[in-house]
């Protein structure tokens, strides 16, 4: 896996190479075109000069120059060539440098000459320009002859310009390679320097231990591109700190909640075994121990459900559930307790409501909410249980009198192991996990739960669940 430094260096290096290569190719193309254009212009100028020195006299075409005085037309490595033809292709003149060879005939005019690159029979590369023109006639007072149109092909070897272009290519390649090497060195330095803040950030993160989650990464002197990363890291550290605090508090709460019933069991057993007693006394002691054991079992089961929910291991098996029937069924085990405490129960289950939900999880929700109401309602108080269809969902609401929860503590009723009594005495078999489990299960069933309190008066828990289409 490539490092970020390598990726940046490769990316910028490739980009710089493409730019340099593209610029070099464009520059070379411009220089090459300029040289060839200048070369062609010199060919045309020389061809027009030869055409100007060609005349027609007495039906003959004569070249008004002495080739002996023009060394460029002699055989040599840098010779120039020309060939003049009459209509029909008959040659009337050619340069000595051709040594009897032929130049191909191409058509052009004085104003618009034609060009072509070709090879002589001996392999030399030449570029030629071809024009057609009418030779001049001397005005000697006699009747002018019918003018002839002749063609002139003038050529020059391209070895010189090709050598020049080869040198330019070599120079540009050498300069480009040197520039690329220097660019890569500069880019490597800049990339290494630019990534130093990442190294510093990595060192800061590496220095944060689990006991130092309160530390935050300072954004001072950090590039703007890293500020969002630092913000997210600081947010993550905050969440981790809160999670660790919850875990530590959770561990302490579990230890506290288990210590109380275990101490109660031990105390009962020690008293029972301190001396010989009547069988009835032993029986009462065992019943007390059984009650404490049932409380511990419920707490462990709730903890197990919460742990599975935290690990996303709870699955939902939806089926049609008669909510009203389920509520009454869950109340039956609590009816005796309510009667002993002289509680009045008002039922407002208007009609059976069938919802598509997980019956087992819904049962746990209803049991916990009703059990809380039966336990924490003041003696001689009242409980109101209602279920009503509203805005496409079913609302299940339980309200009880004698609330001891302050308004500012209402959001905490869903915290694990939180109870209104600061002493957290073992009372009524509740350890502060019921509403926490209800919240997790309700959200798992695509519903919502909320609580409300009027201190000294009423405490309300409302659950909203989607209605089935059945």
Q: Quick one: CA dihedral 280, 283, 289, 294, positive or negative?
A: negative
Of the ranges 124-128, 189-193, 308-312, 455-459, which is most confident? 124-128
Same domain, 36 and 116: yes
pLDDT in tens, 252-296: 666 666 676 777 788 888 888 888 888 888 888 888 888 777 767
Contact of 372 with 453, CB cutoff 8 Å:
no
d(CA 232, CA 26): 47
The answer to whether residue 430 scores a pLDDT higher than 60 is no
Residue 122 in tokens: 């001996």
Tell me how many degrees the CA angle 169-170-173 measures, rounded to the nearest 5: 85
Residue 34 in tokens: 């300029």
pLDDT of residue 247: 73
Q: What percent of the chain has pLDDT over 70?
A: 86
55, containing H or E segment: strand 54-57
Does residue 180 form part of some domain?
no
Beta bridge partners of 225: none
29, containing H or E segment: helix 4-52
320, containing H or E segment: strand 319-322
Separation of CA 467 from chain center: 39
Same domain, 460 and 321: yes
Contact of 180 with 14, CB cutoff 8 Å:
no
Domain boundary among 309, 336, 365: 309
d(CA 464, CA 364): 15
Q: How many C-beta atoms surround the C-beta of residue 385 within 10 A? A: 22
Contact of 103 with 121, CB cutoff 8 Å:
no
Beta bridge partners of 397: 386, 462
Contact of 226 with 239, CB cutoff 8 Å:
no
Contact of 55 with 138, CB cutoff 8 Å:
yes
- Best CA proximity match to 72, nearest among 64, 85, 82: 82
Task: Please give the tally of structural domains in the chain.
Answer: 3
Same domain, 305 and 325: no
Contact of 368 with 438, CB cutoff 8 Å:
yes
Does residue 200 form part of some domain?
no
- Best CA proximity match to 24, nearest among 163, 170, 164: 170
Does residue 189 form part of some domain?
no
pLDDT in tens, 331-354: 888 888 888 888 998 888 876 567
pLDDT in tens, 48-84: 988 888 888 776 777 777 665 678 888 887 889 999 9
Domain boundary among 272, 292, 309: 309
pLDDT in tens, 156-205: 999 889 999 999 999 999 998 998 889 888 888 888 888 788 788 888 78
Q: How many C-beta atoms surround the C-beta of residue 252 within 10 A? A: 11
pLDDT in tens, 384-423: 998 888 777 888 899 999 888 887 888 778 776 666 554 3
Same domain, 340 and 425: yes
Same domain, 305 and 333: no
The angle, 0 to 180 degrees and rounded to 10, between the axes of the packed helices 359-376 and 434-444 is 150
- Report the C-alpha dihedral over residues 349, 350, 352, 358, rounded to 10 degrees: -50
d(CA 370, CA 358): 18
Residue of higher predicted confidence among 85 and 250: 85
Same domain, 82 and 32: yes
pLDDT of residue 309: 66
pLDDT in tens, 246-261: 777 667 666 666 676 7
Q: Which residues contact 80 (CB under 8 A, 6 or more apart)?
A: 46, 72, 73, 95, 97, 154, 155, 156, 157
Contact of 167 with 87, CB cutoff 8 Å:
no
Of the ranges 104-118, 339-353, 424-438, which is most confident? 104-118
Same domain, 396 and 292: no
pLDDT of residue 67: 63
Contact of 403 with 414, CB cutoff 8 Å:
no
Q: How confident is the model at residue 208 (pLDDT cuts 50, 70, 90)?
A: confident
Task: Please give the residue range of the domain that contains residue 65.
Answer: 4-136+145-166
Read off the pLDDT of each residue in 87-113 and give the average, rounded to a whole number: 86
Same domain, 273 and 301: yes
pLDDT of residue 469: 45
Same domain, 351 and 301: no
Residue 346 in tokens: 């008002």
CATH number of the domain where residue 304 is located: 1.10.287.130
Does residue 292 form part of some domain?
yes
Contact of 117 with 191, CB cutoff 8 Å:
no
């Amino acid at each position: 896996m490539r490092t970020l430094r390598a990726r940046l260096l490769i990316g910028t290096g490739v980009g710089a190479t493409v730019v340099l290569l593209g610029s070099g190719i464009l520059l070379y193309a411009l220089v090459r075109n300029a040289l060839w254009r200048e070369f062609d212009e010199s060919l045309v100028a020389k061809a027009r000069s030869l055409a100007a020195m060609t005349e027609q006299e007495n039906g003959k075409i004569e070249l008004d120059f002495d080739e002996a005085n023009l060394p460029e037309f002699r055989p040599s490595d840098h010779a120039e060539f020309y060939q003049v033809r009459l209509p029909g292709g008959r040659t009337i003149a050619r340069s000595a440098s051709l040594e009897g060879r032929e130049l191909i005939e191409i058509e052009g005019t004085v104003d618009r000459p034609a060009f072509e690159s070709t090879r002589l029979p001996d392999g030399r590369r030449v570029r030629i320009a071809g024009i057609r023109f009418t030779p001049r006639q001397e005005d000697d007072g006699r009747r002018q002859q019918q003018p002839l149109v002749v063609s002139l092909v003038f050529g020059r070897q391209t070895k010189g310009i090709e050598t020049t272009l080869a040198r330019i290519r070599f120079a540009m390649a050498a300069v480009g390679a040197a520039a690329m090497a220097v660019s890569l060195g500069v880019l490597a330095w800049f990339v290494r320097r630019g990534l130093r803040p990442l190294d510093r950030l990595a060192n800061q993160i590496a220095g944060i231990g689990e006991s130092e989650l309160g530390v935050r990464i300072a954004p001072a002197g950090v590039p703007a591109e890293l500020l969002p990363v630092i913000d997210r890291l600081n947010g993550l550290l905050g969440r981790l700190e809160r999670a660790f605090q919850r875990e530590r508090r959770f561990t302490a709460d579990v230890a506290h909640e288990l210590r109380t019933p275990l101490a109660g069991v031990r105390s009962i057993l020690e008293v029972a075994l301190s001396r010989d007693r009547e069988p009835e006394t032993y029986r009462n002691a065992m019943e007390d121990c059984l009650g404490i054991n049932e409380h511990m079992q419920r707490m462990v089961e709730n903890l197990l459900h919460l742990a599975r929910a935290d690990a996303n291991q709870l699955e939902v098996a939806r089926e049609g559930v008669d909510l009203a029937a389920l509520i009454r069924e869950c109340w039956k085990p609590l009816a005796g307790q309510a009667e002993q405490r002289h509680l009045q129960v008002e039922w407002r289950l208007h009609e059976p409501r069938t919802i598509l939900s997980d019956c087992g999880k819904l049962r746990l929700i209803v049991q916990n909410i009703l059990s809380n109401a039966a336990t924490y309602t003041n003696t001689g108080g009242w409980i109101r249980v209602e279920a009503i269809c509203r805005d496409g969902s079913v609302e299940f609401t339980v309200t009880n009198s004698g609330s001891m929860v302050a308004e500012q503590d209402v959001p905490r009723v869903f915290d694990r192991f939180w109870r209104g009594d600061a002493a957290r005495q073992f009372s009524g078999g509740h350890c502060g996990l019921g509403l926490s489990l209800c919240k997790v299960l309700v959200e798992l069933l695509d519903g919502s739960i909320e609580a409300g309190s009027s201190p000294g008066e009423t405490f309300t828990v409302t659950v909203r669940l989607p209605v089935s289409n059945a």
